[in-house]
Chain A
């Protein structure tokens, strides 16, 4: 079946460096993608989204890139801070409401 997945389960990054988290998806019909951040004991927190008619979107310290040719999504975090340590999920919305999540990437920020 169709699924959304992440390339790496863990990422360790030095404080102040930039982080890049990758995600591959297989449903070419998906038209909306979201990145969520989940801290321990909390629900997923919306970070940034992008629609399929765009290839880049920027937020505060975050940028999402969408490459529809290779069905790849990435999240870039600038100047990573200790508070960025969390599990990051990409999710796709292919039928107007149901989100499909990948397994997640655990980001650990080293001081």
Chain B
């Protein structure tokens, strides 16, 4: 079946612009996660949804980061007033049991 998909795959934003990154999880997966991966590093947890409820947003680096999953399926990660330090790959993962997490291909964000 289809895996996790993310769009866009690449995004270039000028500093100060707002961006929106989309994640389509595996159908039926209750849990959805966002991670940030800096170059050469492992992914770092950002936020977690169970259905439409955001149960943990402790990893969001600042209040410029906002995530939503209004209907318990597709999720959007929004970054306002982007800064150069926001440049990274943003990964989305979904899971049916919170243990085995399936990752999408990621969105590579470059802030210039």
Contacts and interface: CB of A to CB of B under 8 A. Distances in A.
B103 A49 contact: no
**Taking chain A's interface residues, is the majority helix, strand, or loop, or is none over half, making it mixed?**
strand
Interface string B61-75: 000000000000000
Interface residues of B, number: 25
Contacts of A98: 45, 48, 56, 59
Contacts of B35: 99
B100 A49 contact: yes
Contacts of B102: 46
B42 A101 contact: yes
B101 A99 contact: yes
Interface string B96-108: 0011111111100
A43 B41 contact: no
Interface of B: 4, 31, 33, 35, 40-45, 48, 56, 59, 91, 93, 95, 98-106
Contacts of B45: 98-100
A93 interface: yes
Interface of A: 32, 34, 36, 41-46, 49, 89, 91, 93, 96-104
B41 A93 contact: no
Contacts of B42: 89, 91, 101-104
19 contacts: A34-B100, A34-B101, A41-B105, A42-B105, A43-B4, A43-B104, A46-B101, A46-B102, A49-B99, A49-B100, A97-B33, A97-B95, A98-B48, A98-B56, A99-B33, A99-B101, A101-B42, A101-B43, A104-B42
Contacts of B105: 41-43
A110 B91 CA distance: 30
Contact of B91 (A32, A34, A41, A44): A44
